[in-house]
Structure 1
Amino acid sequence: MTIARVHLFYGLAGSGKSTLARALAEGGRAVRFTLDEWMLRLYPELGFDSPEYGDHAEQVKELIWSVAEQVLAAGTDVVLDWNSWSVEGRGWAVEHARRGGARVVLHTSSPPRRRSPRPAPLRGRGRARRTRTRQPPRATSTSPC
């Protein structure tokens, strides 16, 4: 029997965390829980900058975890699609996961490297070099957390 895993994410905005979370959950391999989606459904009037947002988000995480525990008990991976930016935030998830006997996988993402819209002129030629390549988000994962 395989041990279910809890996937956590760490990275800057726009680095591909939610894209990776969706990919992990494709085809029923895992169940994705996105904090932003839950917050929008439960508290549609509450903005990210609202003073109450943090307290409500913590309560919603506990609610999400109550469902995630059941998913893990069924042997299916859980994807917690929110930024586990702080050591404290990751610690909460790691503690909950380990209590339930799950492994933890931390995915770190960094944004794609962006090229300046005005590249420096080529030395000795006085012309600018143009590059039109786009790099996909890079993601690495380490396990266990």
Structure 2
Amino acid sequence: MTPTLHFMCGKMAAGKSTLSRQLAEQHGAVLICEDIWLQQLYPTEIRGFDDYLAYARRLKAVVAPHVLQLLRAGVPVVLDFPANVPAQRAWFRSLLDEAGAGVGHVMHFVDTPHARCIEQLHQRNRDKPPGSMAMSVEQFEAISALFVPPAPEEGFTVRTYR
């Protein structure tokens, strides 16, 4: 069986983390969740979006060799890291290029309606699941405005969930 890298695309609060957990269980994959790692490693340092971007870059630099080692060992990996804009997706492309032809991939595009994402954001803010940060609707709107759906010319295998 071909080792596969599964990764997520979708607006904030679309349901990507829930799907990530389901995929990891379904495929017997190692799940690596950016939000949980960032919360554990930098519990007080991330105060805003710019902080998130800086610490996420650090985390990716550390996680990438580990992910490649797992894939090369034949272990499927689910990365619950956002692939929400082309620049973020370039990191996943670099992982796949470095992993080589023997590794498959699926970008799981969780295409949840905007209003439903806001409902789920409120629920997440109430429930505070592991790794989640409270986010206002204003912050959600600002971040969602940056979202770019995957395009065929990016060359990813995309599975869409509506």
Return the TM-score normalized by structure 1: 0.70
1:35 and 2:48 equivalent? no
Which is further off, 80-89 or 41-50? 41-50
1:111 CA drift (Å) = 2.2
How many Å separate the matches in 2 of 1:92 and 1:25? 20
Matched length:
117
Larger strand proportion of the pair: 1
1:57 CA drift (Å) = 1.0
Letter matched to residue 144 of structure 1? T
How many Å separate the matches in 2 of 1:23 and 1:15? 15
The residue aligned with 1:60 is 59
Letter matched to residue 29 of structure 2? A
1:27 CA drift (Å) = 6.0
Q: Deviation digits for residues 62-103 of structure 1, max 9, x if unmatched? A: 211121112111111111102110111111111212211222
Q: Is the 8 A contact 1:11 1:109 kept in 2?
A: yes
The residue aligned with 1:24 is 23
1:111 and 2:124 equivalent? no
**Which consecutive unaligned segments of at least 5 residues does structure 1 have?**
115-141
Residues 48 and 3 from structure 1, CA distance in 2 versus in 1: closer, same or farther, beyond 3 angstroms? farther
Percent identity (aligned): 31
1:14 CA drift (Å) = 2.0
The residue aligned with 2:81 is 82
Q: Displaced runs of 4+ in structure 1, greater than 4 A? A: none
1:56 CA drift (Å) = 1.6
**Which consecutive unaligned segments of at least 5 residues does structure 2 have?**
117-151
Q: Is the 8 A contact 1:8 1:90 kept in 2?
A: no
Letter matched to residue 112 of structure 2? P
Q: What do you get for the CA RMSD once the two structures are aligned? A: 2.2
**For the pair shown, which has the larger CA radius of gyration, 1 or 2?**
1
Return the TM-score normalized by structure 2: 0.64
Residues 56 and 77 from structure 1, CA distance in 2 versus in 1: closer, same or farther, beyond 3 angstroms? same
Q: Deviation digits for residues 18-51 of structure 1, max 9, x if unmatched? A: 1110011116611111111111111111235164
